[in-house]
C-alpha cells in the first residue's frame, strides 16, 4: 500500500537517491532538511513532496512535522562534521525518537554499520549507540547494517578511486588485509524500498552485504583490474593510525576528521554474520567488480546523482549557507574586474564548468599550490572536485568552494571559500548582456587577515586577471 514516509538525510548520499525511488513506488514523501535553500531536486519531484526545515539537534524545530507519518527513514550521520560526533549522533537520535514517538509512525528504517566484532571502532560504536536509542521508540525498528557501500559519489568508492588512480605503487598499513563485505548502492536502495511496511522485518536487525568477502587490498586491486591499471601494494607493519590518516588525507579527498575515523574503522572486520535478509527480500546481489563498473559508468556519463562531497559536513565547518549568501560590503577587501564579452550564453557555460577537471582557466598550477598549502594547514584542498561537470546547484561543493547561489538564467554564481583562511572569502561572477563582472571579496579576521590579503595581492593580479580574460574569450 502507499504510505506517508518521512525521509531524514534527504540531501545526503543515500537520501538523494532514495527519494525518486519512493516517489516511483507511489509513496507520499515528507523530507526533513536543515536548509530548504540547498535542497535541490528535479522540479517534477519537488511538486510531489512536502519539505520541512528542521534540525535534529534542535528538538523544538521538529514540532512542525506531521503526525500522520506511517514510515520513517533515519539516514543522518555526523561522522565527518565534528571530532565529537558521538555526542551529536546521540542528541539527534534522541530528538528523532522522542518526536516520532508522538506520531502514529508504525516503522522506522535505520541504515547502520556492520558491528559483529567485540572491539569496535569509535565510528561503529556510535552507529550501534544510535541503534540502541532508536529501539526505545514506540515504533517497530528495522535495522539494516552495511559495511562498505560502493557507488559513484560514496566516500568509500571515492577513496578507492583516488588511491588506485593516483598511486601506481602503494605503501599501505597492515589494515589493508582486514576483511569486509562491500555492497553495491543499487542493492542497498532495493533492500530499503522492499522492507517498507514488511512486518517480517519489524524489530529485526539485518546485516546486508554483497556476494564477495574481500580485503581492502583486494578491493584496491579489483578496482585496478576493472580500469586495466597495473598496481603494486606493499604492506608495512610500522605505519601508525595517525600516519595512515595523514596518508589518506593527502592522497584522497576526505577531510582529516573523516580519514581518522575511517582508519579507525578499517582495523575492524565488517563481514555479515547472517544473510537472513536474502530469505525475506528478493534481490540479485551485485558483485564488487560489477558495482565498480556501474559507478564508473555513471561518472563517465556525468550522471552522479549524489556525492558525500556535497554534504556540508565534508567542509569540516558547521554553518548555514543562508548566513553567507549576502556578500558583505563593509570591512572587506575586494578585487573587482569587468570585461566585455561577445557571447553571454557561452560565457555562462564556461563559468558553470569552473573547478574540478576543468580547473580555473588560468595558472592552474597556482590553484594546485594553494590547494596543497590548504591541505598542509588541515584544510580540504582541491581533491574534492565536483559531482557534475556541467551542472551547479546551491549547496554543491566545487574543490574548496561551497556554492551559495547559482542562477544560470541570471548568469550569477556566488562561491564561498571553505579553505583555511584568516577570514572569510567569496568569489562572485555576474554576466550582463555584454559584460562579465568578477568580484573576489575577503573579510579579514584581525591583523593576520589583513597581512594575508596584502601578501597575496601580486598573485591575485596574475590569477584573477588571467581568469576573467580566459572566461571572456
pLDDT digits (tens, 9 = 90+) for 279-325: 999 999 999 999 999 888 877 766 655 554 555 554 555 545 555 56
> Which range, of 76-80, 123-127, 255-259, 430-434, averages the lowest pLDDT?
76-80
Q: How far apart are CA 436 and CA 12, in angstroms?
A: 34
pLDDT at 43 over 60: yes
- Of the ranges 115-124, 271-280, 414-423, which one carries the lowest mean pLDDT score? 115-124
**Which of 258, 260, 255 shows the shortest CA–CA distance to 240?**
260
Residue 268 corresponds to which cell in the numbers above? 575492524
Nearest alpha carbon to residue 75 among 21, 134, 162, 27: 134
Q: Which three cell numbers stand for residue 411?
A: 548568469
Lookup: cell for 278: 536474502
Mean pLDDT on 229-236: 92
Lowest mean pLDDT segment, chosen from 204-208, 244-248, 447-451: 244-248
Residue 84 predicted with pLDDT over 50: yes
Confidence of residue 464 (pLDDT cuts 50, 70, 90): very high
Q: In the predicted model, is pLDDT for residue 79 greater than 60?
A: no
Crossing angle of helices 457-472/364-376, nearest 10°?
A: 130
Q: Are 247 and 239 in contact (CB under 8 A)?
A: yes
- The β-bridge partners of 51 are 31
Residue 162's pLDDT band, with cuts at 50, 70 and 90, is confident
- Length of the chain equals 473
What pLDDT score does 314 carry?
A: 47
Name which residue leads in pLDDT, 40 or 340.
340
pLDDT of residue 232: 94
Q: Which residues contact 98 (CB under 8 A, 6 or more apart)?
A: 59
Mutual angle of helices 122-134 and 85-100, in 10-degree steps: 10
CB contact set of 183 (below 8 Å; sequence gap of 6+)? 146, 147, 148, 149, 150, 208, 209, 210, 285, 286, 291
Name which of 141-145, 324-328, 382-386, 457-461 the model is least confident about: 324-328
Which band of pLDDT confidence, cut at 50, 70 and 90, is reported for residue 442? very high
* Burial track 137-150 (b if 16+ CB lie within 10 A, e otherwise): bebbbbbbbbbbbb
Radius of gyration of the chain, Cα coordinates, nearest whole angstrom: 23
Angle at alpha carbon of residue 428, lines to 424 and 433, rounded to 5° = 165
Amino acid at each position: 500500500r502507499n504510505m506517508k514516509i518521512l525521509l531524514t538525510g534527504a540531501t545526503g548520499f543515500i537520501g538523494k537517491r532514495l527519494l525518486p525511488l519512493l516517489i516511483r513506488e507511489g509513496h507520499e514523501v515528507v523530507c526533513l532538511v536543515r536548509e530548504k535553500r540547498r535542497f535541490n531536486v528535479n522540479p517534477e519531484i519537488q511538486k510531489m513532496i512536502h519539505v520541512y526545515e528542521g534540525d535534529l539537534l534542535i528538538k523544538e524545530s521538529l514540532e512542525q512535522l506531521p503526525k500522520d507519518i506511517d514510515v520513517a527513514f533515519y539516514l543522518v550521520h555526523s561522522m565527518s562534521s565534528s571530532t565529537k560526533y558521538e555526542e551529536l549522533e546521540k542528541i539527534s537520535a534522541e530528538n528523532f525518537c522522542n518526536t516520532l514517538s508522538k506520531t502514529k509512525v508504525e516503522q522506522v528504517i535505520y541504515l547502520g554499520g556492520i558491528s559483529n566484532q567485540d572491539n569496535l571502532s569509535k565510528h561503529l560504536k556510535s552507529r550501534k549507540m544510535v541503534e540502541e536509542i532508536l529501539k526505545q521508540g514506540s515504533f517497530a525498528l528495522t535495522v539494516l547494517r552495511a559495511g562498505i557501500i560502493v557507488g559513484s559519489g560514496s566516500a568509500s568508492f571515492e577513496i578507492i578511486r583516488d588511491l588506485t588512480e593516483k598511486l601506481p605503487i602503494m605503501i599501505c598499513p597492515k589494515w589493508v588485509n582486514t576483511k569486509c563485505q562491500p555492497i553495491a548502492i543499487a542493492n542497498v536502495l532495493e533492500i530499503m524500498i522492499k522492507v517498507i511496511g514488511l512486518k517480517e522485518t519489524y524489530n529485526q536487525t539485518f546485516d546486508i552485504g554483497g556476494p564477495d568477502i574481500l580485503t581492502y587490498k583486494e578491493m584496491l586491486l579489483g578496482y585496478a583490474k576493472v580500469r586495466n591499471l597495473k598496481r603494486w601494494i606493499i604492506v608495512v607493519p610500522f605505519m601508525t593510525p595517525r600516519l595512515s590518516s595523514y596518508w589518506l588525507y593527502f592522497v584522497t579527498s576526505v577531510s582529516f576528521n573523516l580519514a581518522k575515523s575511517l582508519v579507525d574503522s578499517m582495523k575492524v572486520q565488517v563481514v555479515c554474520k547472517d544473510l537472513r535478509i536474502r530469505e525475506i527480500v528478493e534481490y540479485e546481489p551485485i558483485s564488487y567488480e560489477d558495482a565498480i563498473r556501474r559507478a564508473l559508468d555513471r561518472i563517465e556519463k556525468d550522471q552522479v546523482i549524489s556525492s558525500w562531497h556535497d554534504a556540508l559536513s565534508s567542509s569540516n565547518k558547521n554553518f548555514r549557507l543562508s548566513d553567507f549568501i549576502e556578500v558583505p560590503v563593509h570591512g572587506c577587501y575586494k578585487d573587482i574586474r569587468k570585461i566585455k564579452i561577445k557571447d553571454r550564453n557561452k560565457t555562462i557555460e564556461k563559468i558553470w564548468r569552473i573547478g574540478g577537471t576543468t580547473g580555473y582557466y588560468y595558472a592552474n598550477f597556482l590553484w594546485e599550490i594553494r590547494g596543497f598549502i590548504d591541505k598542509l594547514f588541515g584544510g580540504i584542498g582541491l581533491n574534492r572536485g565536483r559531482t557534475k561537470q556541467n551542472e551547479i546547484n546551491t549547496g554543491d561543493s566545487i574543490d574548496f568552494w561551497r556554492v551559495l547561489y547559482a542562477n544560470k538564467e541570471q548568469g550569477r554564481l556566488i562561491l564561498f571559500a571553505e579553505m583555511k583562511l584568516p577570514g572569510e572569502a567569496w568569489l562572485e561572477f555576474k554576466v550582463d548582456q555584454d559584460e562579465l563582472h568578477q568580484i573576489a571579496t575577503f573579510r579579514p579576521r584581525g591583523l593576520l587577515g589583513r597581512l594575508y590579503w596584502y601578501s597575496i595581492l601580486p598573485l591575485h593580479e596574475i590569477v584573477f586577471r588571467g581568469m576573467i580574460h580566459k572566461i571572456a574569450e
